[in-house]
Structure 1
């Protein structure tokens, strides 16, 4: 497996990447065309979009978007083929994105992770997050949510937007310092 810039992908591989996005995050990109539109929107010079490729097959991909004059980068999105999850592909993509953000002078990297599926996946779902949020953050449980993946990679909860996706469906913000202390 190699991690390459998505600008190097051919049309077939871009379609593979779009299918992975639709399959992984159907709430955000329900159709292949929605996912293709998102990829085209993101594939601009100021963003860094990377794909994990093996034998010309896209296994997953992700990107970073600069903000705050290049001091902060947002991970958006990260998607890995369902049949290739839990094999280190997402971890490799995130590590490469973190390296790219550092090379570009980034000091912080962050992402938003919506808890909006069904009845919720985390301990933040369907609770009043305005009531003692610090304690809720302290006792956070990721459940089946992707936030468990980011916590294992050293990301910390840096904020929560209650009801971002409807009542009891928050957006959880995770961040990590890229500075060498």
Structure 2
């Protein structure tokens, strides 16, 4: 009698778990059904890359200050000290690198400020009105990028977005939510939905 009761209790618990599992849905259920595994793209600290335009200020030395672009080799060319590697660095890291080079026999106790004037552009492809290259603005989301590109086409999959970052080798599928961010240099692809 005791084993029959424990068996029935176990079966009732298992049935309850199965019913509750069937009742839950996820925003990317359609994507998973199509065989796509997604993840969430979140904002991270900005790192410099080719085509970023920077304003470098060396306080007290206007001839050493100016606007510079990160070249294809990933460096900026500054007066006196020449090439300084910039790709992959934050603005604070670049400030420190420039100050270190200037302190090496050029300027006594240099104070350096670096700010990004123009970010490298992003690219949007696929099921949007006007695919192409667009200027990046701080805080850009995929939904803003799609709006700038003329909105979704009628065939667009509005649940998943494919993003290839500038430093990545392949596209990654992300949940398309209002907070899915775009980073400078990203290539965004809006896929076609499966009917």
Normalising by the residue count of structure 1, what TM-score does the alignment of the two structures yield?
Answer: 0.24
Higher relative contact order by CA 8 Å / sep ≥ 6: 1 or 2? 2
- The structure with the largest alpha-carbon Rg is 2
Q: Which has the higher helix share?
A: 1
